[in-house]
Structure 1
Amino acid sequence: MAIAIFDFDGTIISRDSLPDFLIRTCGWKAFLLRLPWIALLKGAALTGFLSTHRAKELVISSFLRGMRTDEFRQACLEYASRIPAFVYPTALDEIRRHQEKGDKIAIISASVPDWIRPWAQTIGIRLVEGTELEVKGQMLTGRFSTPNCKGSEKVRRLRRLYPDFASETLYVYGDSSGDKELLALANVPYYKPFNNK
């Protein structure tokens, strides 16, 4: 038996689910109105003026702060129903291969897991880790309740899910610099394994 860890955006699916979710949920007009703000925050993160955690949090806050949790949950379910159209067929084949072998499988993503989990459950993946949103009084605060799930945070999530992972063969599938720490731990690392097929 082995452990297979998959990134989501750009690895299992062919796009970045965060802006796609925000556009689908809040509309193109809302997205375009915020585009200068998004570009400013991205620039601030790239230059080190803001952490990527804070920049991402501010982007999400500008769209989702104050949204009721039931509305958010429904939006996530609706978005999850669209995910099959974005999945790389070869990624799904690889997931099935691990399932047939009886391997342990998890998705560890920098994205918000609320719209990944409903889709993952449909293909038999129970464990999904990501950047969780803070909720107070049945509303989204616009802040994160966990660290941004990238880099070393992905390793921390792996250790929490599978404390004894070093005793098993570890497969890791990723496509960005945010996956490099996980990939470095893998017995069998795959970088951008599906998006060129």
Structure 2
Amino acid sequence: MSAPSQTQRQTLVVFDFDGTLTHRDSFVPFLRFAFGDRFFCRRLLRLVLPTLSFLAQRRSRDALKAELIRVFLSGVSVTWFKDAAEDYCALRWNKLMRPKALEGIAEQLKSGATVTLCSASPELLLMPFAQRLGLALIGTQLEEENGLLTGRILGSNCRRAAKIARLEAVYGSLERYHLCAFGDSQGDFELLKAAQEAYWKPFR
């Protein structure tokens, strides 16, 4: 069966989150918000050597993030994390979100397109934001056991080629869609390259 023509394709709109819809990163500031300054700073000291290794190009960005998650989230209650994420969304929404991005999302939803967030930030953190925006959500998944986070990523960090793989796992081949993508970093390159409409650092 041949692929549908361009005019027959459903539009799939994919928004990156951090830096694209927001003024800044969300995950590390969330950790500081959730754990408090003293705990955050103590745990951050454990990441000095991994960070230096990353800066010296001996450790990948994905490996550094995996270490960050291990250091901060091993043994953390899933319920506690979700509650903290709800509070973070409620209290930091106005400072975090770009007003023009909210307008852009509203326009895409009004158009009848299928619209989703696709982010390297943890899904558990972004759930309240996705719900408030009225969007589907694909993000980095955190492994859980008996109601606790293990400190490990389930699968892979949702960036670069992993974004394409995760999107296709949910929506099927992206060739079926007219793909419209919004991003702002190297982690979005493959997604933007695959899109018929690609928007780099929009809403600024």
Query: Structure 2 length normalisation: TM-score?
Result: 0.88
Residue of structure 1 equivalent to 2:114: 104
CA distance in 1, matches of 2:140, 2:81: 15
Residue of structure 2 equivalent to 1:13: 22
CA distance in 2, matches of 1:73, 1:7: 21
Are 1:136 and 2:145 matched, yes or no? Answer: yes
1:142-186 CA distance string (max 9 Å, x none): 111120111100111121222143233211000100000000001
- In the TM superposition, what is the alpha-carbon distance from 1:46 to its structure 2 partner? 4.0
1:90 pairs, out of 88, 91, 100, with 100
Matched residue type, 2:28: P
1:100-157 CA distance string (max 9 Å, x none): 11000011100001121122112211x2111111111211111111201111001111
CA distance in 1, matches of 2:76, 2:92: 22
2:128 pairs, out of 108, 115, 118, with 118
- CA separation of 1:46 and 1:163: change in aligned 2, threshold 3 A: farther
CA distance in 1, matches of 2:13, 2:122: 20
CA distance in 1, matches of 2:198, 2:49: 34
Over the residues paired in the alignment, what is the CA RMSD in angstroms? 1.6
CA distance in 1, matches of 2:64, 2:45: 13
- In the TM superposition, what is the alpha-carbon distance from 1:190 to its structure 2 partner? 0.6
Contact 2:164 2:190 in 1 (8 A): yes
Bigger strand fraction:
2
Residue of structure 2 equivalent to 1:174: 183
1:42-61 CA distance string (max 9 Å, x none): 33234443333332121122
CA distance in 2, matches of 1:59, 1:164: 32
- In the TM superposition, what is the alpha-carbon distance from 1:37 to its structure 2 partner? 3.1
What are structure 1's unaligned runs of at least 5 residues? Answer: none
CA distance in 2, matches of 1:41, 1:73: 27
Matched residue type, 1:180: F
Residue of structure 2 equivalent to 1:65: 74
CA distance in 2, matches of 1:164, 1:97: 25
Residue of structure 1 equivalent to 2:5: none
Decide which structure has the larger Cα Rg and report it. Answer: 2
Contact 2:127 2:137 in 1 (8 A): yes
CA distance in 1, matches of 2:174, 2:62: 27
How much identity, in percent, do the aligned residues show?
34
CA distance in 2, matches of 1:35, 1:159: 35
Contact 1:83 1:119 in 2 (8 A): no
Query: Structure 1 length normalisation: TM-score?
Result: 0.91
Are 1:190 and 2:203 matched, yes or no? Answer: no
CA distance in 1, matches of 2:132, 2:44: 33
